[in-house]
Amino acid sequence: MKCSVFIATSADGYIATLDGGVDWLHTAGNLDADISNDDMGFHDFMGSVDCMIMGRKCMEMISQMNLTPEQWPYGKMPIYVLSKTLKDAPYNLQGKVEMYSGEIKLLIRTFEEKGYKSAYIDGGFTITSFLNHGLINEIILTKIPVLLGEGTPLFGNVNKKLKLEKTEVKSFKNDFYQVKYGVNYL
Amino acid sequence: MKCSVFIATSADGYIATLDGGVDWLHTAGNLDADISNDDMGFHDFMGSVDCMIMGRKCMEMISQMNLTPEQWPYGKMPIYVLSKTLKDAPYNLQGKVEMYSGEIKLLIRTFEEKGYKSAYIDGGFTITSFLNHGLINEIILTKIPVLLGEGTPLFGNVNKKLKLEKTEVKSFKNDFYQVKYGVNYL
C-alpha cells in the first residue's frame, strides 16, 4: 500500500508549538494575497488516498476543533488512530475513527486485504515511525514562512537510511511553498 | 548593511551531523544527474556580497578542508570570525580571516563605515544570533534530499518575531532544491 504524508511545517520544521498550538498557521504568510481559490493541493491529494492512519495527538487536535459534518475534511475514508494507551476515541469522533494499538505492518496488511491502495499518514510521531519501518513512499510538505524557534519537529529521530527523490517545488501567492518528494529506502 | 544567508541543510533542517560532519552533502541527491554546469546560485550570490561574518565552528570546518588558493571560494572579501574564546585564527587561515570578540552591531557599523554594503553571514549559531538581533535580510537555503534524524539545526532558538516573505523556490536536476526568503521583522 502506498503511504503518503501531506503536512504543514514552519520554515524551521515544526508542526506545532511546544504546547501543541497551531494558531500560527492562520496568521503566517502574506495575508493580503488572495488564495481563496487555491487549497494548495489538498483536494487533489485527498482524491489520491482512500484510507488514513494518524497518531493520537493528531486525533486529539482534530477532536478539539469540534468540526461540523460540513467541515469534516476526510470524507468517508476509514481512519485508524494509533495509540498504545487510549482505548476509545473522544466522543465527537466516535463512528469516525477507530483506535488501534497493534503493529503498524499488521494494520497495513489489514487495509491491503480490504482492498485499500493509498494511505494518508498524519502526525509527527506516526510519520517518523512509518519512515523507520520503511513505509512512507511520498512526502508533501507545505512550508509556512515563519520561524517558531522551538516546538514539535515534524521529523523525529529517523534512523532508516533513505534518499528523498523526484523533488518538485512550487510557491504560492501567500509566500507559502510546497515540496513533494518520493522516498527511496537504501 | 544588508545581511544574507546562503547555506545548505538536510530536509529535516540540520547543517551538520552531531559530530560536525558534512560528508552527507556529497553523497546526497541524484548522483547520476549532470549538474557540472550548475553551481546552484553560489557564483551569483558571491557577486552580491562584499564581506563575510562567520562563526568559529564554521571557520574550523573551513580550516580542516585545507583549501588551496585555487579552491578558496571567498575571493579577497574581508572575513570576520566571531568567537569569545579564540584569539588567533588557525595557521592555514591567517591573513584570510580576522577574529572578532566584540558586539555584532558594532562590527556591522565598522563594516558600514568602511563602505561595505552586503554581508554573507555563515554558521548556525551566528545566523540565529543575527536573526535575534533583527539583522538578517535575506535567507537562501539549499535543501539536501536526505533526513539526518539528528544533528546541528540551522535555526536555533529564534525568539525575534518575524515573517519570511517573497518566497521563491527552484529545484535542481540532482533533487536538491533552493528556497529564497526576505525577512520582515515585526
pLDDT for the residue B53: 98
**Is residue A131 within 8 Å of A139, Cβ to Cβ?**
no
Question: What separation in angstroms does the CA of B143 have from each of A164, B13, B110?
Answer: 11, 8, 33
Beta bridge partners of B141: B7, B179
Asked if residue A28 belongs to a domain, the reply is no
Q: What is the pLDDT of residues A138-177, one digit of tens each?
A: 999 999 999 999 999 999 899 999 999 999 999 999 999 9
Domain count, chain A: 1
- Rounded to an integer, the average pLDDT of A77-84 is 96
pLDDT at position A91 over 90: yes
Mean pLDDT by 10 residues, chain B (186 residues): 97 94 91 89 96 96 93 95 95 96 95 97 96 97 96 93 96 97 96
Collapsing DSSP to helix, strand or coil, B92 comes out as: helix
Give the other-Cβ count within 10 Å of A67's Cβ.
Answer: 15
Asked if residue A17 belongs to a domain, the reply is no
- Rounded to an integer, the average pLDDT of A98-104 is 96
Scan residues 4-33 of B and list those with Cβ closer than 8 Å to A. 11-13, 28-30
Amino acid identity of residue A68, one-letter, is: T
pTM listed for this prediction = 0.94
Evaluated on CA atoms B163, B167, B173, B175, the torsion sign reads positive
C-alpha cell at A129: 515511525
What gap in Å lies between CA B183 and CA B5, rounded to an integer?
11
Beta bridge partners of B170: B178
pLDDT for the residue A116: 98
pLDDT for the residue B186: 92
**Is residue A14 within 8 Å of A152, Cβ to Cβ?**
yes
pLDDT for the residue B37: 85
pLDDT for the residue A142: 98
Asked if residue A50 belongs to a domain, the reply is yes
pLDDT for the residue A7: 97
Using a CB-CB cut-off of 8 Å, the residues of chain B touching A30 are: 165
C-alpha cell at B29: 541527491
Q: Which of A145, A174, A176 is nearest to A10 (CA)?
A: A145
Residue A168 sits at the chain B interface (C-beta within 8 Å): yes
Asked if residue B57 belongs to a domain, the reply is yes
Minimal-distance CA residue of chain A relative to B24: A163
Minimal-distance CA residue of chain B relative to A151: B157
**Is residue A103 within 8 Å of A116, Cβ to Cβ?**
no
Asked if residue B10 belongs to a domain, the reply is no
pLDDT for the residue B84: 94
Asked if residue B44 belongs to a domain, the reply is yes
Determine the structural domain holding residue B92 and report its residue range: 40-117+125-134+165-174
Q: What is the pLDDT of residues A12-26, one digit of tens each?
A: 999 999 998 899 998
Pairing of strands A98-100, A152-153: unpaired
B158: nearest CB among A28, A147, A163: A147
**For residue B50, what is the domain's CATH number?**
3.40.430.10
pLDDT for the residue B35: 86
C-alpha cell at A145: 514562512
C-alpha cell at A144: 509556512
- The distance of A178 to chain B (nearest Cα, Å) reads 9
- Rounded to an integer, the average pLDDT of A48-59 is 96
Asked if residue A46 belongs to a domain, the reply is yes
pLDDT for the residue B145: 97
pLDDT for the residue B94: 95
Amino acid identity of residue A155, one-letter, is: F
Pairing of strands A138-144, A177-185: antiparallel
Asked if residue B75 belongs to a domain, the reply is yes
What gap in Å lies between CA A63 and CA B66, rounded to an integer?
56
C-alpha cell at B182: 526576505
**Is residue B158 within 8 Å of A147, Cβ to Cβ?**
yes
Q: What is the pLDDT of residues A23-49, one digit of tens each?
A: 999 899 999 998 888 899 999 999 999
A149: nearest CB among B29, B158, B165: B158
- The distance of B135 to chain A (nearest Cα, Å) reads 15
* Helix axes B56-65 and B124-132, enclosed angle (nearest 10): 150
pLDDT for the residue A37: 85
SS (H, E, C) A124-151: HHHHHHHHHCCCCCEEEEEEECCCCCCC
